[in-house]
Amino acid sequence: MRFLPESKVRAGLLLLVMVMPVWATEPSEQLLLKADNGDVSAMFQMGVAFLSGKVSSSHSGKALQYLEQVASSHQSELSSQAKTWLGRAYRDALSGTDKDLKKSFSYFEQAAGKEGKNPEAQYELGKAYLNGMGTDRNLIAAYMWTAISLHKTSSVEAQAKEQKQQLTGMLNDLQLEKARELVTQLETLYLN
């Protein structure tokens, strides 16, 4: 068995590392074709890839179109994830999206509530109430949604814990008691 000299292996790895960002960021033509043909999962993957900047392509204008179609689909988990991404897109003006905080808030609200129960959207909704983004500032609602978001494991769990701690320090004892009561009511009546 012959092995390549170490210098050739290093040169090959260096070339791979230099070239990888170019081909790794281009959309799979097959995935793009599936998305264009209405495959909900492919539409979600492409929409997120475009919005998150993982795909640098002339097709990036389709991100909102794909995600809006997924959001209106009857696949509840993908639908709530798409609504969460749409909320972020309108809040942060991702990939050239026009900033619209009211629309952002509406998408987070849809994905967070009984329809979606998405913990990332619940955290984002709490953050919107905390900062008055797309709605009036409401620290009790911010605490409630942030606390609810911690009932499921998610990618924003650490931020949610930090936000909940911040809100606990901002609320007086009476407000905190009311917020905790609302969390219990929401869990019992709305999210089960």
Closest CA to 72 of 102, 64, 54: 64
pTM over 0.85: no
Q: What is the pLDDT of residues 141-166, one digit of tens each?
A: 999 999 999 999 999 999 999 999 99
Asked if pLDDT for residue 48 goes beyond 80, the answer is: yes
Domain ranges in the chain are 29-99, 117-192
The pLDDT value recorded for residue 96 is 80
